[in-house]
Amino acid sequence: MATEAEANPPIEETSPTVKETNTIKNNHGKHRVLFWLTFIFLIIGLAWVLLWFFYLRFYEFTDDAYANGNLININSAVSGSVIAFYADDTDLVQEGQLLVSLDTTEYQIRYDGELASLASTVLQVRQLYEAVATNQANAESKRIAFGRAQYDYRNRSQLVGSLAISNEDYIHAQDSLSIADFELKQAESQLKAAQDAAGNTILVEHPLIEQQKARVREAYYNLKHCSIYAPSTGYVAQRSVDVGEWVAPNRALMAVIPKDYVWVDANYKETQLTYMRVGQQATVWFDLYGRKV
């Protein structure tokens, strides 16, 4: 049988010197980690201070900013039915590009009618000028007839006393003079009326023709404004027009934001404006694209 000493061998105890050595090693490792962390934070802090001192203090930043630009509303100058539109929201359009087309049937008919009326008015005015020439010839003829009647009357007035002519011939000569005088006055009155109707201008500047030319220009204006073009190069926004709609001049069809005239409205605090001056450069990042743009 085994003895008690053999069954329960004595346990060896670790010496205090070994425990203290392990504790010192662990503390030394912790101190080293703490040292390097402190060193790293100090380096980062120093770098931040240097960055602020040499760079960031000369710059201001805000994320309260918005892109802005002029908004050109596209309206129709005439009323009409929309038959087509050629641009939609976010489309880039060039200056002079066709945006919307209206039905031209009514305005084309009106324009053709005004042209025909202009031709008719020109003929009427030409007749007025020709009437002046006709009345001038008639007045000249009546003036000659009056002179002849006046000559005959004077001769007979000298002969009637000597009984060289009968009293009846004298009376006839007197009546002929009165008739010639009346016809001359009538011809001169007709000439005056014809001259007033023709006016004192050349044919193409006659008031009747000018009035009809204005109607033709108005009809042409309405016809041409059935096609609506882009007033500036830019991007389309707020399109509200559709095919088949009846539009009026006071309705906005769409808008164009000019491409070459946009800006950023940036809101800074008053304390950030100390060193800001007109003409300083700025860097802008858009949330839509991130800092790559």
Residue 8 has pLDDT above 60, yes or no: no
Tokens representing 252 are 């906005």
**Residues 285, 268 contacting (CB under 8 angstroms):** no
Range with the poorest average pLDDT among 1-5, 138-142, 167-171: 1-5
Question: How does 238-255 read in b/e, with b if 16+ C-beta sit within 10 Å?
Answer: ebebeeeeebeeeeebbb
Q: What is the model's pTM?
A: 0.61
pLDDT at 196 over 50: yes
pLDDT band at residue 223, thresholds of 50, 70 and 90? Answer: very high
- Rounded mean pLDDT, 257-261: 86
Mean pLDDT, to the nearest integer, of 194-206? 78
Residue type, position 221, single letter: Y
What pLDDT does residue 88 have? 94
Predicted confidence at residue 70, as pLDDT, reads 85
Contact 101, 84 (CB under 8 A): yes
User: Which of 61-65, 155-159, 205-209 is predicted least confidently?
Assistant: 155-159
Mean pLDDT on 162-171: 72
Decide if pLDDT at 104 tops 60: yes
pLDDT of residue 57: 77
Q: Identify which of 102, 103, 79, 98 has the alpha carbon closest to the alpha carbon of residue 87.
A: 98
Nearest CA to 76 out of 221, 265, 180, 234 is that of: 221
Q: What is the pLDDT of residues 50-87, one digit of tens each?
A: 888 887 778 888 989 988 888 899 999 999 999 999 99
Res 25: pLDDT = 61
Share of residues in the chain with pLDDT > 90 (%): 39
